[in-house]
A and B are shown apart, each in its own frame.
Chain A
Amino acid sequence: MNRIAIGALVLALGVIPAAGQSLEDLNIQIHGYATQGLLYTTNNNILTTNSSDGSPAWSEVVVNVTSQPNPKLRVAVQARYFMLGLIGDQIILDWAAADYKYNEKLGVRFGKVKTPLGLLNETQDIDPSYQWALLPQGVYPLMSRTSNLAHYGGVLYGQFKLGPQAGKLEYRLWGGDRQLNSQDGVFLTRREIGIYFPNGLGGATFGAALHWKATGPLDGLMLGVSDYRNAGNWMAPILKNFGTTPGTETAARVISPNYFGIYEKNKVMVAAEYNRYPILAFMNFPSTPTQTVVGDRRSWYAMATYKLSGKLAVGVYDSQIVDHKSAFTAAQGRYMKDWTFNGKYDFNQFIYAKVEEHIIKGTDYVYDSTMNPGGLKPDTKLTVFKIGVSF
């Protein structure tokens, strides 16, 4: 079914029962934001852009329409135009969902819904909401954001108060179908060696997340854990030799946990997260032995921000990815380490700017050979300017 039609259907499901009410009664709101980034690297070209010459190929426009026809029901749809170097340059359906909240302990969201993984998966695409121009790539890879952001299915959610000084526990249970688009950044390195996924890759998926939010003297602290799983193997047709030889890929079941925490109080925020993402896949082509693709990416970051004033905040993070089963024999290809220093200035509630410096060592992630035909250097500095407007 056309994905845009799903969005329209979800909106209609919410609005039709309220027929006869005025637009004001339906509480229809339209919000959006747009960002424009500029990337400059000292050595390697990054994120499929020509960043060593300075690249403005990073743009985003989001429009969101929300309606709340009654206090328990909300329906909304969000569309996005996203372009990053060689990726995107199209309008996609971010998500489209109906949300029924029975009470604080139980609610359900269904449609194309954001997947509650980790600390930032549900907000990683909302640039105005966080400090960074580029999130820690090991845990929130920008080139795979479209695939990781949402799934078709549902989320059960709610929260329980544990006691006067024991805080509260939030839960999310989710399941459905996830589809990795054939043009998604997750397939970039495969495309470079002539392997194509004409129909993308996808299948059933499910998971859960728990957040404990403290009260009392630890007010502002949240600790959480989430788990992501593919339900069984995923299979998809593939083509090699740049589209001339058909085959099949079987991606084995994935179990990927995240452990995370955040503390926010007054002017300070500190957060940390760890993720493990194992990969095991088999490529089968006629008359050739099965090729195995393996990986065991373990990523983490620690970050902190401080509000210098009502308009200006500064931040720093350290992020590392190590692939414990990397096929690369050169050490630099098995890891990426990134020290980032950042500032964000809010001109007003609508317009903001971010400036960021990354000191990157290792080449395990964020690089592609198409934009780096001469090979990769082990270290790169990346400077990012980004301006955004939201309403």
Chain B
Amino acid sequence: MKKLSLVFLLLVAALLVATRAQAQVIVIANSSVKATEVSKSDLRDVFTGAATELKDGSRVVPILLKAGTAHEEFLQAYIGKNDTAYRAGWRSLVFSGQATMPKSLDGDAAVVEFVAHNAGAIGYISKGSAHEGVKVLAVK
């Protein structure tokens, strides 16, 4: 019985690790955005307020997740900051009159809904989330 419990616990742990390792984010954009791909540096510039256009001249508006795994992974993969430092960077721009704070939404579905219906919107969601009505940008 004890051995069965141990095996069960190990299986659950392995499943959790596997799920964690597979969690990824995808970048989505409104259909008005002409680009089909975006560079990591362009993505970082847009999501840190350093730029409001992609390389092809498309004006974009970043949309954030408030919190969660996808948000943390996006910050780690493309921004290189944790959430506190990231939002502090945006506040610097707001308090120096150079930007407004980007909209933060509660979950993937809300991000997809907003991006689908707002020209220029660009956001990120978990890879496995439904994303009808938006285009996926490849990150190179």
Contact = CB atoms under 8 A, between A and B. Distances in A.
A62 B91 CA distance: 12
Contacts of A288: none
Interface string A321-359: 000000000000000000000000010110000000000
Interface string B39-77: 001000000000111000101010000000000000000
A250 interface: no
Interface in A126-155: 126, 128-129
A266 B41 CA distance: 15
B97 A62 contact: no
Contacts of B94: 29, 31, 64, 66
A33 B96 CA distance: 13
Contacts of B41: 215, 219
B71 to A, nearest CB: 12
Interface stretch (B1-9, B17-25, B78-86, B122-130): B78-86
A123 B92 contact: yes
Given A129-B92, A349-B84, A95 B97 contact: yes
Contacts of A283: none
Interface in B88-129: 88-89, 91-92, 94-101, 120
B54 to A, nearest CB: 10
Interface string A264-282: 0110000000000000000
A390 B84 CA distance: 11
Nearest to A68: B100
A101 interface: yes
A71 B59 contact: yes
A348 B82 CA distance: 11
Contact of A76 (B52, B57, B97): B97
Given A31-B101, A349-B83, A126 B53 contact: no
Contact of A78 (B57, B80, B92, B95): B95
A74 B100 contact: yes
Contacts of B34: none
A104 B91 contact: no
A125 B80 CA distance: 25
A27 B94 CA distance: 13
A311 B84 contact: yes
A177 interface: no
B53 A122 contact: no
A96 B52 CA distance: 22
B100 A349 contact: no
Nearest to B82: A310
Given A78-B97, A97-B97, A349-B84, A126 B120 contact: no
Among A66, A266, A311: residue with most chain B CB under 10 A: A66
Contacts of A310: 82, 84
A78 B100 CA distance: 13
Contacts of B99: 74
A360 B91 CA distance: 31
Nearest to B86: A349
Interface of A: 27, 29, 31, 33, 62, 64, 66-68, 71, 74, 76, 78, 95, 97, 99, 101, 103-104, 109, 113-114, 122-123, 125-126, 128-129, 159, 215, 219, 265-266, 307, 310-311, 346, 348-349, 390
Interface of B: 41, 51-53, 57, 59, 61, 80, 82-85, 87-89, 91-92, 94-101, 120
5 contacts: A68-B100, A104-B51, A126-B92, A126-B96, A129-B95
Given A29-B101, A123-B92, 13 more contacts: A27-B100, A31-B91, A62-B95, A66-B94, A101-B52, A109-B97, A113-B97, A114-B96, A122-B98, A125-B95, A126-B91, A266-B80, A348-B84
